[in-house]
Chain A
Amino acid sequence: MKTLIVIPAFNEADNLKALLPKLIDLVEGDVLVVDDLSQDDTVEVVKSHGIKCLCLTVQLGAWGATQTGIRYALQYGYDHVITMDADGQHLPEEVHSLCQAYKNNSTDVVIGTFPDRLSRLKKMAWSFFKFLTHIKIEDLTSGFRLYNKKAIEVLSLRQASMLDYQDVGVLLMLLKSGLTIVEVPVKMQDRYDGKSRVFSSWLVVLKYMMQTTTLCIANIGAKQTK
């Protein structure tokens, strides 16, 4: 079982300094950091830990960077991809819980969630999207996920490249392809530093809400392809 841990990173040098040593100690499997055109020394930090770093030449955003890792995994024949954020929110010791849940549930995707983390505003947004899409998942944006081979194949497709965030769009694609998703509660930590990207400013939130709502409405009644 070959597992690849994919970490999309944009200006995360400080957080990665704290995260990578712990990750190497605690987790078996290869680690791949995808650098989304950082301006700080993210790449140097990653390389100094002896970890592989892919560098994008055009900024693609978190999902674009993650998909790069997923395509890498497909090309090199990995069986599983675990994605986690670089900001220290997702704990290396919880990777084990994801794998455990995967083994116990015979599912295609495992999402690590930490329901308490959700603010009231987020909860409102999520229930709105859940109402639109009928996705029965608590935390739509959690980037702490395990994908198996089938999910890797689906998410490597060209259609998946047009998604802008690793959340509702990705989940809809997985569900449409007939894959199953299981959620496990995990511990999460507050960010070492820095703020949430999606929920950083009102304008960004508005843009995110509009885009995702459009995506949800466009997918109403979409049939399973398999």
Chain B
Amino acid sequence: MTNLTILIIGALLSISILYLVRKGKMHGPYATWWLMVAVSAILLSVFPKVVDWVALKLGVTYPPTLILVLAISMILVRMLTMDMALTQKERKIRRLTQKLAIIEDSLKEDK
């Protein structure tokens, strides 16, 4: 029955993401990433044997650990890129604030 659960989660996730993109609440790379997550969930639920096969090839004795390790690594990678994106945003805000102050001053000067 777990396969069915995962299938439902994947399907709900896909629908939510497509809905968010339609409403303009998520864009570009983020939407693609999450859609990929949803699609992999669906694929795994339909073909659960894939995990066993990959685990066997990689020499992992207990296949579920493979999924967990992969999932956690992906989450960590995602969090890291999120913080990188935040840093970039922070830099842009700082630069913009400084520029705004300088330009505001030059506008006053012209009057």
Interface residues on A, range: 10 to 19
Q: Provide the A67-86 mask, 1 if CB < 8 A to any CB of B, else 0.
A: 11001100100000000000
Q: How far is the CA of A55 from the CA of B100 in the complex (A)?
A: 9
Q: Of B87, B91, B100, which contacts A57 at CB under 8 A?
A: B100
Contact A64/B98 with A52-B105, A55-B104 known, Cβ cut-off 8 Å: yes
Q: How far is the CA of A64 from the CA of B92 in the complex (A)?
A: 12
Q: How far is the CA of A161 from the CA of B97 in the complex (A)?
A: 11
The answer to whether A75 and B101 have CB atoms under 8 Å apart is: no
Neighbouring A residues of B78 by C-beta, 8 Å? none
Q: How far is the CA of A161 from the CA of B99 in the complex (A)?
A: 12
A170 within 8 A of B: no
Total contacting residues, chain B, CB less than 8 A: 14
Q: Of A52, A67, A162, which contacts B98 at CB under 8 A?
A: A67
**Smallest CB–CB gap between A203 and chain B, Å?**
21
A13 within 8 A of B: no
Q: How far is the CA of A55 from the CA of B87 in the complex (A)?
A: 23
**Smallest CB–CB gap between A28 and chain B, Å?**
21
Q: How far is the CA of A54 from the CA of B106 in the complex (A)?
A: 10
**Smallest CB–CB gap between A165 and chain B, Å?**
14
Q: Provide the B53-65 mask, 1 if CB < 8 A to any CB of A, else 0.
A: 0000000000000
The answer to whether A58 and B97 have CB atoms under 8 Å apart is: yes
A56 within 8 A of B: yes
Q: Which of A40-94 contact B (CB under 8 A)?
A: 52, 54-58, 60, 64, 67-68, 71-72, 75
Neighbouring B residues of A158 by C-beta, 8 Å? 91, 95
Q: How far is the CA of A64 from the CA of B95 in the complex (A)?
A: 9
**Smallest CB–CB gap between B53 and chain A, Å?**
42
The answer to whether A58 and B102 have CB atoms under 8 Å apart is: no
Q: How far is the CA of A56 from the CA of B90 in the complex (A)?
A: 15
Q: Of A60, A64, A72, A162, which contacts B102 at CB under 8 A?
A: A72
Q: How far is the CA of A75 from the CA of B99 in the complex (A)?
A: 10
Neighbouring B residues of A57 by C-beta, 8 Å? 97, 100-101
Of the A-B pairs whose beta carbons lie under 8 Å apart in the complex, a sample of 7, sorted by A's number, is: A55-B101, A56-B98, A57-B97, A57-B101, A71-B98, A162-B90, A162-B91
9 A-B pairs closest in CB distance: A68-B98, A54-B101, A58-B97, A161-B94, A161-B91, A56-B101, A72-B102, A54-B105, A56-B97
Known A57-B97, A71-B102; 8 more pairs at CB < 8 Å: A54-B102, A56-B98, A58-B94, A58-B97, A64-B98, A68-B98, A158-B95, A161-B91
